Amino acid sequence: MCVGNIRSYFSFRSFTACAASRNQISIMGDLQRVLGKGEYAPFTSAPIFESNFVQVNRRGEPIYVHNRPNCVTVGICASSPSLSLPNVMLLAHTVTKSPQEVTSKPWKVSKQPPTMEQLELSRFFPLKFVEISVHNAEKRRLKLKLASGRSFYLELCGPPDEQHLLFRQWLRLISLLKLPQDRYNNT
């Protein structure tokens, strides 16, 4: 049974497990599967809270890259099992790969299959350099402000019946991240 009060979460691992349970979704998200391949130490086995977003501008209009909305998978995780709070934000994008890039098997030109899309990790930020806040709760938009002063806006996407629950989890996580360290340790 999930404890309702966010202050009752004693570790990020329990938060991610509770969030998954609350949402009745598998804890193994797409990004976590990518990390599990072992190419991104030390994130291979890190518990992670992740969701898919569309990047928008401040007014809520989608940002387009190569004529399609820029979709981003955002993951929040801890880079060490000893950490009780997450310390890293990961960003991943779906990229289009040719078959040769995915496998080592050569293809005949005349029989080349369609290109494939894969989720790939593109960037990570230490959370000390990122401020995550709610930009528009009604539209389920978050604001990411970087240490450089730049800001990005992300709108949560996914099945409509899950968005409300997912966004509530992000609100909880944002609150958790804003807790002073000493207060968190005492909860």
Please report how close the Cβ of residue 136 comes to another protein at its closest, in angstroms: 17
- Among residues 150, 181, 182, 183, the one that binds another protein under rule CB under 8 A: 150
List, in sequence order, the alpha helices (H) in 81-159. Answer: 99-102
CB 182 within 8 Å of CB 85:
no
Would you count residue 32 as binding another protein (CB under 8 A)?
no
Among 158, 180, 161, 182, which residue's Cα sits nearest to residue 54?
158
Size of the site for another protein (CB under 8 A): 33
User: What does the alpha-carbon distance between residue 128 and residue 154 come to, in Å, rounded to a whole number?
Assistant: 19
Grouping H, G, I as helix, E, B as strand and the rest as coil, residue 165 is helix
- Among residues 122, 133, 175, 185, the one that binds another protein under rule CB under 8 A: 122
138: left (phi over 0), alpha (psi -120 to 50) or beta: alpha
Half-sphere exposure of residue 144: CA atoms within 13 angstroms, side-chain side: 26
Please identify, using beta-carbon distances, which residue of 125 and 184 lies nearer to another protein.
Answer: 125
User: What does the alpha-carbon distance between residue 87 and residue 135 come to, in Å, rounded to a whole number?
Assistant: 22
Please identify, using beta-carbon distances, which residue of 11 and 118 lies nearer to another protein.
Answer: 118
Would you count residue 123 as binding another protein (CB under 8 A)?
yes
Write each residue from 66 to 105 as x if it is in contact with another protein (CB under 8 A), else as -, in one continuous string. Answer: ----x-x------x-----------x--------xx-xxx
Token pair for 150: 């730049």
Please report how close the Cβ of residue 85 comes to another protein at its closest, in angstroms: 15
Residues at the site binding another protein, with contacts judged by CB under 8 A: 38-42, 55, 63, 65, 70, 72, 79, 91, 100-101, 103-105, 120-126, 129, 144, 146-150, 152, 154
